[in-house]
Chain A
């Protein structure tokens, strides 16, 4: 028995912790392996339901099929545009709202803050939102998805908390140099706010990339269909993943492989961002929940 443990029960308890967490991790990992395995397996094995966690009858054609699909390409482009434009505007607006309201002495600060926070606790609901977009002629436009997201109050509060933690001398010395507020914000505050800016940019990107509901509601044109809406129609509504009307002439590949290849390809951007996400999000959520 290991000498590190003061009690015999400590050894068993620690072992129990390791085993439980290993099981938990497997429970997360195996479904993902299942997805990957199906996307890479040949149709006899997939159709017979023999593919579990390792591919059998390896093929990559499912992926080349998806990558050649016009609709997949269109939807990925739409989602990339929504996520990048949205996060850019979202960060800009959050900073612009956070900076003035981080000044404790700003007259009316409390009231303006109330105007922001109230949107957290009460909303007009789905239908008035739809009618608004209809009246603004924003239906079937990516802006109908972007605008409701960029007015997210949580991220604004995160930036505000960060600004409030910065020393006041920073602003004072810049003011003595005769800098305007806008200059102070962009030349003095932003450069030292990189961590929080990075965090909320990632927040915005993830949210907008994964967004389903607003796109489903506001966008009906196929040429503007974001990835998640397309993906759902592929998975749940048996839409041909390649965007063609028939599923013939694919003797070697099961439709299920193509569906799973589509899912896996849609996960790739999040996987690429994941190392960064883990670092910043953990920080962000702690700042947000402990200090918020």
Chain B
């Protein structure tokens, strides 16, 4: 009896009612697609529907693991994201450490305003900007020609396309990525610096021995976050910027699913590839989160 009255007094029934609309949308647009994964085990026909399509067991997965194409795409996915991590982990940190030494407020504000801006531009716009820069007559090729080499067709050359992906993603996100480190630097106890100065530490030494160690948890957290998202990270960027000439090096799991599934209507096979990608992503992010909770005392979510 008492419990019931608490339930009423706290307005719990009303709270549950408020939760219905968000839960309903979540169910339709997130959970129904999860149930739709079942077509990876079927010979799905979009006209007969999920309920009436025949089951074929693990056939699509057998085909998948025998397909050399699949291994090439998996390799591309891992390579592109591995390269990205190599730059993504140190660059925003370095930007923040440099920014920390800036004492002229105007300079700091101008730099911050500039380097955060590209984060808000879409991949399509960033793609357009790089098409300009890297066109046969663009500034980059002009420098290459001035140094006595042949102009490079960056967007069409499998040897250079990955570099384009890397450069454009760093151009877009490094400035923005420095924000979390700047916030962490701001929360360092000033007494640590005072003590270091009393010990006669130069500014560089303060950076190495005071600022940097204080940032280690944040660095670990950002690395884990990046690792957890490694599979879905570059999808939209590549989808926008790639073309048939560079499929060989630029095709990643999700772009492949998109082309096979939506473009060529190989629904069941591409769902199997997608399920593989989702499962690996799931394992990565849950591992990353567990590690964060264990060693850093807080999770990603």
Q: How far is the CA of A232 from the CA of B238 in the complex (A)?
A: 12
Flag whether A251 is at the interface (Cβ < 8 A): no
CB distance from A152 to the nearest CB of B (A): 10
Flag whether A1 is at the interface (Cβ < 8 A): no
Which of A58-66, A95-103, A192-200 lies at the interface with chain B? Answer: A95-103
Q: Which of A2-47 contact B (CB under 8 A)?
A: 5-7, 9-10, 13-14, 17-18, 20-22, 24-25, 27-32, 34-35, 38
Flag whether A267 is at the interface (Cβ < 8 A): yes
Q: Which of B244-269 contact A (CB under 8 A)?
A: 254, 257-258, 261-262, 267
> Please, which residue of chain A has its CB at the minimum distance from the CB of B299?
A292
Contact of B240 with A212 in the complex, beta carbons under 8 Å: yes
Contact of A289 with B180 in the complex, beta carbons under 8 Å: yes
Flag whether B223 is at the interface (Cβ < 8 A): no
Given A9-B202, A21-B98: A125 touches B33 (CB 8 Å cut-off): yes
> Please, which residue of chain A has its CB at the minimum distance from the CB of B269?
A127
CB distance from A55 to the nearest CB of B (A): 14
Point out the residues of chain B lying under 8 angstroms from A156, CB to CB. 22
With beta carbons under 8 angstroms apart, the residue of B39, B95, B129 that contacts A31 is B129
Flag whether B213 is at the interface (Cβ < 8 A): no
Flag whether B86 is at the interface (Cβ < 8 A): no
Point out the residues of chain A lying under 8 angstroms from B14, CB to CB. 180-182
> Please, which residue of chain B has its CB at the minimum distance from the CB of A259?
B128
CB distance from A144 to the nearest CB of B (A): 10
Contact of A286 with B183 in the complex, beta carbons under 8 Å: yes
A: interface residue count bin: 35 or more
Which of B64-72, B77-85, B135-143 lies at the interface with chain A? Answer: B135-143
Flag whether B216 is at the interface (Cβ < 8 A): no
Point out the residues of chain B lying under 8 angstroms from A25, CB to CB. 110-111, 114-115
Contact of A127 with B127 in the complex, beta carbons under 8 Å: no
Q: How far is the CA of A150 from the CA of B24 in the complex (A)?
A: 12
Count of inter-chain pairs, beta carbons less than 8 A:
280
Contact of B25 with A151 in the complex, beta carbons under 8 Å: yes
Flag whether A167 is at the interface (Cβ < 8 A): no
> Please, which residue of chain A has its CB at the minimum distance from the CB of B167?
A27
Contact of A181 with B25 in the complex, beta carbons under 8 Å: no
Can you list, as one digit per residue, whether each of B20-63 has a CB less than 8 Å from chain A (1) or not (0)?
01110110111111111101000010100110000000000000
Contact of B15 with A231 in the complex, beta carbons under 8 Å: no
Point out the residues of chain B lying under 8 angstroms from A22, CB to CB. 111
Contact of A282 with B179 in the complex, beta carbons under 8 Å: yes
Flag whether B124 is at the interface (Cβ < 8 A): yes
With beta carbons under 8 angstroms apart, the residue of A151, A212, A270 that contacts B120 is A270
Can you list, as one digit per residue, whether each of B83-99 has a CB less than 8 Å from chain A (1) or not (0)?
00000000000010011
The 9 closest A-B pairs by CB, nearest first: A49-B137, A124-B33, A128-B36, A125-B274, A210-B122, A100-B15, A97-B22, A127-B261, A128-B33
Known pairs A117-B301, A236-B127 / 19 extra A-B pairs, C-beta < 8 Å: A13-B204, A14-B203, A32-B117, A34-B133, A34-B139, A94-B22, A96-B22, A99-B15, A123-B33, A124-B274, A126-B254, A128-B39, A131-B39, A132-B28, A232-B124, A260-B132, A277-B120, A282-B179, A292-B300
Task: Name B's A-contacting residues (CB within 8 A).
Answer: 7, 9-12, 14-16, 18-19, 21-23, 25-26, 28-37, 39, 44, 46, 49-50, 95, 98-99, 101-103, 107, 110-118, 120-125, 127-133, 135-139, 142, 171, 174-175, 179-180, 183-184, 197, 202-204, 221, 235-236, 239-241, 243, 254, 257-258, 261-262, 267, 270-271, 274-275, 277-278, 281-282, 285-286, 300-301
23 contacts between A and B (CB under 8 A): A7-B203, A13-B204, A17-B99, A25-B114, A28-B118, A31-B132, A48-B137, A49-B136, A107-B12, A116-B26, A120-B301, A121-B281, A123-B278, A124-B34, A130-B261, A134-B46, A182-B18, A213-B239, A213-B258, A232-B124, A274-B120, A286-B179, A289-B180
Task: Name A's B-contacting residues (CB within 8 A).
Answer: 5-7, 9-10, 13-14, 17-18, 20-22, 24-25, 27-32, 34-35, 38, 48-49, 52, 93-94, 96-97, 99-101, 103, 105-107, 112, 115-117, 119-132, 134-136, 147-148, 150-151, 153, 156-157, 175, 180-182, 185, 206, 209-213, 216-217, 228, 231-232, 235-236, 256, 259-260, 263, 266-267, 270, 273-274, 277-278, 281-282, 285-286, 289-290, 292
